[in-house]
Amino acid sequence: MGTYNKGILGAFYGKVGPVVGATWRGKDVMRSLPKRSNRMATVIQQQQRTKFAMVTEFLSGIQPVIKRYFGGDTGLKTRRNQAMSYLIKEAIVFNDPDLEWDYAKVLVTKGDLLGINNGQVVAGTGQNLDFTWADNSAQGEATIDDKLVLVVYEPTLKVSVYSLNAGTRASAAASLVLPNYLSGLQVHVWAAFVAANDKRYATSMYLGPVTVG
């Protein structure tokens, strides 16, 4: 594997001939394609591949949330890579014979802003989810105009729905309209607050499962 400086064409990603372009620890790198192997993958290798596929699928539906509000922009790891690493290590459990999500440990945002207080979600009319919380804008660096970020995930269809601004911290209530095809299905819900200028954000809270009306 070798690093290289960006020329007039810039960095490249993916396979080009016998080499692959990628980003590693904040640097643009090139490496040769791995040789094919006839060896059977070990159980641990198979589990790791399954975890990677599960996390990749989950993150693909909420990229705008992850790219803005997960961890810090360190230059060594992208926000997506930070989320990938956390979810693989902490949020997937082995329930023989399957790997499953531990939804209570899933994070969709990760920061140090004050989070949601006493957050609750219930099924509303139609395909609405109704949210309530206690206004804690007088605490710490929380402000009345902090934005509510919501993420909803339905595991059988592998569908994500999100809002980057569902309400303000001071409003203490909000609703999110879901697609009709989610009616009657159980979804998992997370909520977090972010500053109006997007520079600070809270670690998300899992509000639990709820069956859509």
CATH code, domain carrying 167: 2.60.40.10
* Dist CA 103 CA 210 (whole Å): 13
* Dist CA 151 CA 83 (whole Å): 15
Strands (E), 49-167: 92-95, 98-101, 117-123, 128-134, 147-154, 159-163
Domain total in the chain? 2
Q: Do residues 108 and 197 touch, judged by C-beta distance below 8 A?
A: no
In a domain, 133, yes or no: yes
Mark whether 184 and 125 lie in a shared domain. yes
Mark whether 131 and 81 lie in a shared domain. no
| 201 token code pair | 């954000």
Mark whether 50 and 81 lie in a shared domain. yes
pLDDT tens sequence across 30-79: 667 666 656 777 888 999 999 999 999 999 999 999 999 999 987 778 99
> Domain ends where: 105, 131, 146?
105
Per-position DSSP letters for 21-46, written without gaps between them: EEEETTEEEEEEPPPP--SPPPHHHH
In a domain, 34, yes or no: no
How many CB atoms lie under 10 A from the CB of residue 37? 7
Q: What domain range includes position 67?
A: 43-105
In a domain, 190, yes or no: yes
pLDDT tens sequence across 79-133: 999 999 999 999 999 998 899 999 999 999 999 999 999 999 999 999 999 999 9
